[in-house]
Amino acid sequence: MSKAFTKETDSDTPEPSPPDALPKGQKNYVTPKGLRLLQEELDQLRRVERPKVVEVVAWAAGNGDRSENGDYIYGKKRLREIDRRLHFLMKRIESAQVVDPAHQKNRDQVFFGATVTYADAEGDAEAKDSVISIVGIDEARTGKGKVSWISPIARALMRAEEGDVVAVATPGGAKYIEVVAISYDDG
């Protein structure tokens, strides 16, 4: 059979769809800043990246034999990746429920959007206080101290007040932490 009638990808295995980290039935809470970042990524893909890739694919297609044309094959693959990401972002933005931490009325308890300073409550005097912000699933960056509101530590901290000791479920068993401070920024 001619390659003209076969699939254009390198393998016959279907490409995985983007992971949907949002559990079924859960709301897609997001801070205003998180929504703005999702919209900026969508705009960047739609207005800049996709048109550039389409241009490269059109140029490569005009060069003749597509079966051995790396620019064409890679470009088509990249277009599928971009289109999948665009679809994912549009669904996330559409389902987003914006919660502005600056409008939180009860600032004595931990809720979505809170920045929480906590300490190890198990007696490690050498341990420094840790700071995390509880944000939406799509804006979580653990390396930057931003954790998803559905993460074990965020769930353990929900509704806690300063001075409370809460148990966080970890693979090694429960870990106890004490809430030192709670603040709400503009998100």
The per-residue pLDDT for range 28-62, each reduced to its tens digit, is 999 999 999 999 999 999 999 999 999 999 998 88
Q: What is the pLDDT of residue 14?
A: 43
Residues above pLDDT 70, as percent of the chain = 84
The domains located in the chain, with CATH, are 26-98 (1.10.287.180), 101-184 (3.10.50.30)
Q: What is the pLDDT of residue 2?
A: 47
Show the CA angle centred on residue 170, arms to residues 169 and 173, nearest 5°.
85
67 secondary structure, DSSP code: T
User: What is the pTM (predicted TM-score) of this model?
Assistant: 0.77
Tens of pLDDT, residue by residue over 65-79, are 788 888 899 999 999
8 Å CB contact between 182 and 107: yes
Q: DSSP characters for 95-163?
A: HEEE--GGG-S-TTB--TTEEEEEEESSS-TTPPPEEEEEE-GGG-BGGGTEEETTSHHHHHHTT-BTT
Q: What is the distance, to the nearest Å, from the Cα of residue 129 to the centroid of all Cα atoms in its chain?
A: 25
Q: Per the structure block, which two tokens stand in for 163?
A: 């001075």
Q: What is the distance, to the nearest Å, from the Cα of residue 187 to the centroid of all Cα atoms in its chain?
A: 15
CA distance 157 to 81: 37
Pick the closest to residue 34 from 137, 116, 122 (CA basis): 137
